[in-house]
Amino acid sequence: MANKIGWIGLGRMGEAMVKLLTTAGNGVDIWNRTRSKAEPLVQYGATLVDHKQDLAACEVVFTMVSTTDDLKEVLFAEGGLVTGKVLPRVVVDSSSISQEGSAEVRQRLEALGVAYLCAPVSGNAKVAKAGKLLIVSSGPKNLYDLAEPYLKAMSRKCMWVGEGELARVWKIAHNTMFGVVIQNLCEITVLAEKAGIPRHVFLESINDSVLGSMYTRYKSDVLTNLSFENVTFTPKLLLKDMDLGMSAAKAQGVAMPAAAATRESIARMVGRGHDHVDFSILLTEIAADAGLNLVPENVKVPDGLSA
Ligand SMILES: NC(=O)c1ccc[n+]([C@@H]2O[C@H](COP(=O)([O-])OP(=O)(O)OC[C@H]3O[C@@H](n4cnc5c(N)ncnc54)[C@H](OP(=O)(O)O)[C@@H]3O)[C@@H](O)[C@H]2O)c1
């Protein structure tokens, strides 16, 4: 008999989230395109299935893949989750996808009688492993209520923001702020260092001030030690999200001067060829503009994520 929960997509995020579900005592049937990545989860109590359609007997199937097209592929392409005779009752998607793509997925699923909840997340894989994600959902409220115990098991906090694709709008707004905060954090860190305060000392003070956040804390180590090879999010992905934010601002008639300036700064970083590195390499660009040559400080800065 199938478990109540099915899961498609065991990348950096999906793996951490499934571990939290099984640790909380849930049985989870799992499928991943690259099977070898899913195998280690069996020792955490998950059940590995051979085909996506094997998950169709689960009451709720979560998806955590890369893009809108990938989501459509796992659901609707040949052998897809909802292409067989048996259908799941609910699909909950936590991938970061566009509002338009999500609306199309909703329309296709609902036409088949499958309910759909959007549940994008705030936090990277390290945050997920620590059980500190924020999960924000939209779609029918009764579906959110049904999924909430599972969402709670995977997060520090989960919320419902309304109907339809509103959680996708939330994610765009969230990632726009993500860009603006790193831009500002880098600027003030360069200002402080050029005036004589070591980076790790300045960042420690910000982290312990009213302005400190989980974000400033977990970026402090990479900013101190310039270890940009530890990628959590790439400059190109951040530029894509800033563009989504600016398009949404245009569509809604909202002026966003700070986001507009940040978008240009990030576009310049991408144009200079930074790729396959962490987006916080922005610090070195801002330092160069200030005529400051940065060196790693070789100081371990706590990230605030240890359990
Ligand atoms: N990483 C972060 O910091 C972060 C934070 C918040 C939100 N997100 C969002 O969460 C989602 C997942 O991110 P991630 O970091 O876990 O990505 P990832 O490590 O690259 O994993 C992507 C997962 O999607 C699967 N996948 C992709 N295309 C597929 C396809 N066409 N068919 C079947 N499976 C497919 C991959 O399967 P394979 O294993 O076979 O490649 C893998 O399981 C993305 O939308 C991302 O933007 C990420």
Q: For 197-254, how does the pLDDT look when each residue is reduced to its tens digit (9 = 90+)? A: 999 999 999 999 999 999 999 999 999 999 999 888 889 989 989 998 999 999 999 9
Let me know whether 126 and 211 are in one domain: no
Phi-psi region of 53 (alpha: psi -120 to 50; beta: other; left: phi over 0): alpha
Let me know whether 59 and 189 are in one domain: no
Let me know whether 155 and 95 are in one domain: yes
Find the mean pLDDT for residues 77-104: 95
CA dist 71 and 14 (Å) reads 14
Q: For 3-40, how does the pLDDT look when each residue is reduced to its tens digit (9 = 90+)? A: 799 999 999 899 999 999 999 999 999 999 999 999 99
User: Is 301 domain-assigned?
Assistant: no
User: Is 304 domain-assigned?
Assistant: no
The domain boundary residue, chosen from 123, 146, 164: 164
Length of the chain as a residue count: 307
| Whether residue 306 has pLDDT greater than 70 | no
Q: For 256-285, how does the pLDDT look when each residue is reduced to its tens digit (9 = 90+)? A: 999 999 999 999 999 999 989 999 999 999
Let me know whether 104 and 23 are in one domain: yes
User: Is 49 domain-assigned?
Assistant: yes
pTM equals: 0.90
pLDDT at position 173 is 96
| Whether residue 167 has pLDDT greater than 80 | yes
CB of 10 within 6 A of ligand 1: the answer is yes
CB of 126 within 6 A of ligand 1: the answer is no
Looking up residue 209, the CATH number of its domain turns out to be 1.10.1040.10
Cα-only R_g, the chain: 21
Let me know whether 121 and 183 are in one domain: no
Query: Distance from the CA of 59 to the center of ligand 1, in angstroms?
Result: 22
Per the structure, the count of domains in the chain is 2
Residue identifier of the C-alpha nearest atom 28 of ligand 1: 70
Let me know whether 14 and 160 are in one domain: yes
CB of 233 within 6 A of ligand 1: the answer is yes
Tell me the residue range of the domain where 283 lies.
169-289
pLDDT at position 307 is 43
Let me know whether 181 and 107 are in one domain: no
